[in-house]
Structure 1
Amino acid sequence: MSLTVAAVFLASGSAFAAEAEGEAAATPAAAPAAAAPAAEPAAEGKESGLEVGARVGYGIPMGNAAEGSKMSDAFNGKIPLWLDVGYRLNRNIYVGGFFQYGIGLMNDDKCKDCSGSVMRFGVNAQYHIMPTQKFDPWVGVGVGYEIATLSSKTTVLGQTFEASSSTKGLEFINLQAGGDYKVSPDFGIGPFLSFSLGQYSSSTVEINGQENSADIEKKAMHQWLILGVRGSFVL
């Protein structure tokens, strides 16, 4: 937004000097320039209570699932469907749990006829910076667990092979930032950004019903960058 400041110029004549002098004496001094408007306050909602939220967005994979295996070899991205449930301790502090199911957008060049998903769950906390204003920016941090699932079907010499894999590991940290525009005192909606850092530690592979599980020896770090929209309601 831009603020336009107008300047007003006054001119005076020289005729009737005495009369002008009298008018000047009777004219009150100009009022000082108005200060910049403060942030617009919102009607005060509940100070504490159960809070539920939902998010949707787009996730960008980065890093490696294991050494020599890029996340982008399987996923071009994901569409996360994210649920938050927790408690607003006061107007500023929220603590709770989260669950996210991500619909995988697959890399058809390297994973043809594949489908996949990414599931995450854990705990997080948020600090709301301006909870009584119409727009309330916030920051958050969390930890959790991640499960990435891939499945494919291939036909070779008339025989169909079905394969699936489930790769699991810790999400060491999840950094978040966003802002809530107060539609009502207890309901807000706005943008958010999330960046998570995790590591897969084990994998289970199933081919035509035969299952094999093992730890990942050459572990690597991977990240998800998620941009989206979040809505939350304090009950």
Structure 2
Amino acid sequence: MNTHPFWKLAALTLSLSAPAALASEWRDEGNLRRDDVESEEEREQSAEDRGFNLGLRVGYGLPVGNAVGAPDGGEAGKLSDAVSGVIPLQLDVGYSFNSNLALGAYFQYGLGMLAEDCVDGADCSVRQLRFGVNLTYHFLPGAKLRPWLGLGVGYEKLNVTASASEAGESIDITTSIHGFEFASVQGGLDYRINERFSVGPYLMVTAAMYSTTSISVDSSIDSPIFDEMEESEGIDDKAVHLWPMAGVRMQFHF
């Protein structure tokens, strides 16, 4: 039996399959090398982004919902009937575990506006305090534009103060309402100016429920009517209110 043609056929088959196998091996090795490079770049970027952050936000917020619920036979107290808006100044302090995830604390001091004019002869002011913790997730590590989402919980306090003075006598009356802020949903877009500093717009909606109200009187008038006092009581008819806010966030990475 002459096997010569079969040897030729086997050699031809090997010669045709060898380049394809080499090309496949080259592609696999190339992909591995490329994956190794990308993984190394991601690890280096995560190491660079790890550390403490200091942020500052400024914006504008609107009240939505009721400060208190409706008692039997009564009407609910709308928050917008007392306050028309607030300018929040918020300080953020946090730690980035990697390029994506960060955990931190916040403190906000808001300058509010009354919905109606203050009484004649008096000066009125509105102050909002918020503090708590935030968890944020950043997308696109290393990119110039980085979208992010966040979720927080905390506590909110709203103060309305009326002050008046005449003939060397003065009186300050402060009414406060405060309670647990069970959610603040937020998101934004950071523009990374350099490795340390970023700035961009943000949106946030907070949801809270006031549980306590208090009143304090500080007076220099020598009269039983205007004695100094400080009282607080729980709110029986609670209601959920929202603060949609928008503004600009600046962040410095140490």
The residue number in structure 2 matching 1:64 is 66
**More deviation, 199-208/70-79:** 199-208
**More deviation, 165-174/100-109:** 100-109
- The TM-score with structure 2 as length reference comes to 0.70
Identical-residue share of aligned pairs (%): 42
Q: Output the amino acid matched with 1:170.
A: F
Q: Output the amino acid matched with 1:221.
A: V
Contact 1:153/1:161 (<8 A) preserved: yes
Whose strand fraction is larger, Structure 1's or Structure 2's?
1
Q: Deviations 1:81-110 (Å, cap 9, x if unpaired)?
A: 10000100000001010000000111125x
Alignment of 1:1-235 (within 5 A): 46-67=48-69, 68-109=76-117, 112=119, 113-153=123-163, 162-207=172-217, 208=219, 209-235=228-254
Other structure's SS at 2:63 match: strand
Q: Output the amino acid matched with 1:75.
A: V
Q: Tell me how far 1:163 sits from its aligned partner.
A: 1.9
Measure the CA separation in 1 of the matches of 2:197 and 2:99. Answer: 13
Alignment gaps of 5+ in structure 1: 1-43
**More deviation, 113-122/222-231:** 113-122
Contact 1:142/1:174 (<8 A) preserved: yes
Q: Output the amino acid matched with 2:83.
A: F
Measure the CA separation in 2 of the matches of 1:73 and 1:160. Answer: 27
Other structure's SS at 2:62 match: strand
Other structure's SS at 1:184 match: coil
Q: Tell me how far 1:161 sits from its aligned partner.
A: 5.8
Q: How many residues align?
A: 190
Alignment gaps of 5+ in structure 2: 1-44, 70-75, 220-227
Measure the CA separation in 1 of the matches of 2:77 and 2:152. Answer: 26
